[in-house]
Amino acid sequence: MEKRFDPQSYERRWQAFWRDHHLFRARSGADADGAGAGRPFCIMIPPPNVTGKLHIGHALQSALQDLVVRWKRMQGFNALWLPGTDHAGISTQLMVERQLEAEGTSRREVGRERFEERTWEWKHKFHSNIRQQLEVLGASCDWSRERFTLDDGLSTAVRTAFVRLYREGLVTRGEYMVNWSPALQTAISDLEVETREVKGKLYHLAYPVADSDQRLVVATTRPETLLGDAAVAAHPDDPRYRSLIGGFAVLPILGRLLPIVADSHVDPQFGTGLVKVTPCHDPADYEIARRHGLVGEKVIGPDGRMTAAAGPDYAGLDRYEARRRVLERLTADGLVVRVEDHVHNVGHSQRSGEPIEPLLSTQWFCDMTAMAERALEVVRTGELELRPSSWDKTWEHWLADIRPWCISRQLWWGHRIPAWYDRAGGCHVALDREEAERMAGTDELEQDPDVLDTWFSSGLWPFSTLGWPDPEAPDLGTFYPTDLLITGFDILFFWVARMTMMGLHFTGETPFRAVHLTGLVRDADGEKMSKMKGNTLDPMDLVEEYGADALRFTLCALDAPGRDIPLDLERMAGYRAFGNKIWNATRFALSRIGEAEVQAELDLAGLEAPERWILSRFSRTAEEVGARFESTRFDEACNRLYHFFWGELCDWYIEFAKPALSGAAPRPRVGEVLLTVLDRSLRLLHPVMPHLTEELWQRLPGISRLGFSALAVARYPEALAEWRDDAAEQTIETVIGVVGRVRSLRAERGLSPKLDGRLFLEAGEPAILESLVGQRALVESLTGSSALQCGRAGDHAIRDRVAGIDLALEIDLPGLDHGEMERLRRELERLEVEIQSAEGRLANPQFIDKAPPQVIAGNRERLGELQERRRLLVDQIRSGA
């Protein structure tokens, strides 16, 4: 076996092996019902945007999903991890537009049809990228079931869903205030708006009162919208303006008369207590205007420029240029009373970054209230579990106050809205054009030019990918509802909530039983990764440097619930070293076990304590790891795997095995046990480190008789009651305690490990002493001592007490020097403090009265041990002095 541990040398090979043997293909329909098919288990991938390459967040989620699906598969489940990609309307369109721009043309110039072709070409190119990257990570997806949100099946699902919602009256078309992105030239949903704090100005502007020489001062951050004002409003109880209500103000520049109205939305404390009302360009003003039956002018167009309604001086100007001009004019007219600095929140387009423009616009909306009600309920009842549950309140908060979802986008890349208009303006919503023509009674129809919000199709993902709306679809019957969703908290509302609502609405069931929400991957300093900062890590680079398994282990081990993930490369190097450890432990075993083979069933009869100990520890570990996988505590599962393999199997058991394997102190079937534990350990680790474990497992002698074609489909280990052995654990724990203490004693005194020492067990419970003597060979070899015996050592021996045993190390050494004396005195002081506190506690009648008996007994035992150590220490100091 190669001495060097080199993940690059085998990772791709096993990916190809798994793929070529179709090990990850799930069974459905009649095939899944057959004997031995296993219960179905399904995870849907959060489909990455087809535009890009995978980032580290994808790597995290893929590592976790793959862990779960591999684990379930090894448990005998008919496990499906369904992969796919999302067409990602806006970002894909932007990329292709950028490409066209580089070619000196534009989407409008090439036309819709050609543009869509170009985008499909783009899609094909990047799509294979993503698939390949997932494979490099070791993802055990069922590629035969791969889906794309724009493929035929999913498009049918999207149209079906839209038509049904329309016929149910939940999807409607109408003119409302929407978030408009002037850069993208499309409406966007509330979720795609990100509020940022902006340092701006608050302008106090004077509006003359009609038929009076009075002036009203309004405060606004957006003077340019004045051109579209429809009123001036004050709070009804504001005494300053009460007398003016019902009168009129004169709109500066344009000279229009504006009614002065009372509306309780106005905050008398803010600004001047007077608001200019611009119904078409401010959501709050829109509401005020609606309440008072006012209409306003649209003075800003979809392109962010002023419209003709703004008057000839401003028409065609950019909104910010118009602001400057309006201010100039007002200043000249002496109407700018005051300008204050003002920090306020402004909505920005998440995609394109520019301030969004609230605009009155005709769009398609989906009423979410009823669906949200059910989504709330399933979390309340536990039918759907959010992990960690701290997200429950956020879920409540958002869903309880949900507003209509603007689902139409003025884009070209996406699902075209299945609505057709006849010449008379009649709207026909249908599954396809033919149906629409039948409904309209004419073929002179024009399809709505808009497409649907990308998240509309993503919202159907858990069932559209399985064949919905076909009720007979075999995959749907077998795998829906799915079991677990693993995704980032950042798309809880965008995606998880919408899938839940749509799933409940269309299938009557929650699309998954649990959602595991991951944090954000940050750099080692906890900074958010961003291209701007240049601190991004490309998972493919990390695979190259550390191997996919180390990357996976790191990501899984850092996935603590409700926390972001600080990705520390030193830590990843540590887990690569863990791989090296596993590699070398296996290499050691293979070189020393002679004819031994892995056993399917281990005969426990006649095994000695070290063997019984490691089997018992393994069984316990398997139980703990399984429980933590089940509860998606991947961090804890990984820590246990790490500590078992390194801290127990390598640090102790292999050391115990050495004298036995070398023949110095033979024990029955030690090679067999070592190999079998190794086999089971590799299985246990496989879901996290699939490549390394497969590579090593395939080399173990005897695996061909286990009946598995690969580790990836071997049986996952479970806790075995017959492997549990408390007596062996107790014995070996004592050995470990004694060995550790003797090593400390030597190290503290600076005694070379080569100096032979004679180890005496001076006192202790006879049974424990006996079991320890039974492990004489181990204790001697691990402490560098000889002649382990019960009995009294010479006066100058070093003495200590551990695990109820008084031990003494007799070694030919010079007397204690001053420094060592000091150290012993400090140790004594420390002991005194602890003894005092333990005594105090035990002397407290209330403690004795109320604490549970085990706690009291534990304290007593500990006090005894402390007192005994004190006695030995005092002796030591006396004899040294």
Taking alpha carbons only, the member of 485, 492, 491 closest to residue 516 is 485
Q: Which is nearer to RNA, 26 or 565 (CB)?
A: 565
b/e 786-822 (16+ beta carbons within 10 angstroms → b): eebeeeebeebbbbbbbbbbbbbbbbebeebeeeeee
The residue among 469, 464, 466, 459 whose CA lies nearest residue 500 is: 459
600 makes contact with RNA (CB under 7 A): no
Pick from 68, 191, 499, 807: which binds RNA (CB under 7 A)?
191
Near RNA in 753-772, by CB under 7 A: 753
- Site for RNA (CB under 7 A): which residue of 161, 275, 406, 670? 275
Of 796 and 862, nearer to RNA (C-beta) is 862
What does the per-residue mask of binding to RNA show for 607-636, with x meaning CB under 7 A? ----------------------------xx
Residue 743 binds RNA, judged by CB under 7 A: yes
Point out which span in 207-215, 409-417, 648-656, 800-808 binds RNA (CB under 7 A): 648-656
Does residue number 78 form part of the binding site for RNA (CB under 7 A)?
no
153, 477, 740, 774: residue in contact with RNA (rule CB under 7 A): 740
Report the nearest approach of RNA to the CB of residue 809 (Å): 13
Contact between 283 and RNA by CB under 7 A: the answer reads yes
Tokens for 476, please give them: 């749907």
Q: For residues 226 and 254, which CB has a smaller minimum distance to RNA in the complex? A: 226
Of 269-277, 367-375, 480-488, 531-539, the segment contacting RNA by CB under 7 A is 269-277
Q: What's the closest the beta carbon of residue 46 comes to RNA, in angstroms?
A: 18
**For the packed helices 56-74 and 609-630, what is the interaxial angle rounded to 10 degrees?**
120
Closer to RNA by CB, 105 or 264: give it: 264
- 671 lines the binding site for RNA (CB under 7 A): no
Q: Where are the beta strands (DSSP E) in 290-404?
A: 336-349, 357-366, 385-387
Positive or negative torsion for Cα 523, 525, 530, 531: negative
Report if residue 52 touches RNA, rule: CB under 7 A: no
Please say whether the beta carbons of 720 and 611 come within 8 A. no
865 makes contact with RNA (CB under 7 A): yes
Interface with RNA includes 167 (CB under 7 A)? Answer: no
318 bridge partner residues: 305
Contact between 176 and RNA per CB under 7 A: no
Q: Which is nearer to RNA, 37 or 577 (CB)?
A: 577
| Residue 31 C-beta: closest distance to RNA, Å | 40
Considering beta carbons, is residue 149 or 783 the nearer one to RNA?
A: 783
Smallest distance from RNA to CB 222, Å: 6
Residues in binding contact with RNA, number by CB under 7 A: 91
**Which listed residue (639, 698, 781, 867) binds RNA by CB under 7 A?**
639
Q: What's the 3-state SS for 688-713?
A: CCHHHHHHHHCCCCCHHHHCCCCHHH
Which amino acid appears at position 35 of this protein?
Answer: A
Q: Are 727 and 613 a contacting pair, CB within 8 Å? A: no
Q: Least distance from C-beta 844 to RNA, angstroms?
A: 5
| Residue 45 or 232 with smaller CB distance to RNA | 232
Q: Which of 416, 401, 441, 399 is nearest to 364 (CA)?
A: 416
CB of 674 to RNA, least distance (A): 11
The closest alpha carbon to 747, from 660, 793, 809, 686, belongs to: 809
Q: Are the CB atoms for 758 and 793 separated by under 8 Å?
A: yes
What does DSSP assign to residue 804?
T
| Burial of 530 from C-beta contacts in 10 A (0-12 / 13-18 / 19+) | exposed
Q: Whole-angstrom Cα distance, residue 281 to residue 295?
A: 12
Which of residues 105 and 389 has its CB atom nearest to RNA in the complex?
389
Q: Which of helix, strand or coil describes residue 21?
A: coil
Residue ranges in 315-344 that form contacts with RNA under rule CB under 7 A: 344
Please, which residue, 270 or 320, has the CB nearer to RNA?
270
Window 389-408: residues binding RNA (CB under 7 A): 390, 393-394, 397-398, 401
Q: Using DSSP bridges, classify how beta strands 186-188 and 171-181 pair: parallel, antiparallel or unpaired.
A: antiparallel
Selected range binding RNA among 160-168, 276-284, 301-309, 360-368, rule: CB under 7 A:
276-284
CA 756 from centre of chain = 54
The residue among 284 and 360 lying less far from RNA, judged by its C-beta, is: 284
Nearest approach in angstroms of CB 713 to RNA is: 27
Determine if 748 is a binding residue for RNA (CB under 7 A).
yes
Element (H, E) at 276: strand 274-277
Whose Cβ is closer to RNA: residue 606's or residue 663's?
A: 663
Select from 365-373, 405-413, 558-566, 702-710 the region that touches RNA (CB under 7 A): 558-566
Asked if 177 and 286 count as a contact pair (C-beta separation under 8 A), the reply is yes
Task: Report the residue number, 192 or 597, with the smaller CB distance to RNA.
Answer: 192
Given the rule CB under 7 A, which of 114-122, 282-290, 692-700, 773-781 is the region that contacts RNA? 282-290
Question: What's CA 162's distance to the chain center, in Å?
Answer: 31
Q: Measure CA of the first residue to CA of the last residue in the chain; give whole Å.
A: 57
663 touches RNA (CB under 7 A) = no
Applying CB under 7 A, the span of 72-80, 84-92, 96-104, 842-850 interacting with RNA comes to 842-850
The residue within the footprint of RNA, chosen from 17, 176, 421, 646 (CB under 7 A), is: 646
- Pick out residues in 95-124 that bind RNA (CB under 7 A): none
Q: Which spans in 644-685 are helix H?
A: 655-661, 670-685
In the chain, the amino acid numbered 228 is G
- DSSP, collapsed to helix, strand or coil, labels residue 515 as strand
CA 286 to chain centre: 40
Q: From the CB of 330, what's the least distance to RNA, in Å?
A: 15
One of 70, 581, 683, 758 touching RNA (CB under 7 A): 581
Instruction: Indicate the residue among 38 and 566 with the shorter CB distance to RNA.
Output: 566
Cβ proximity of 192 and 350 under 8 Å: yes
221: contact with RNA by CB under 7 A: yes
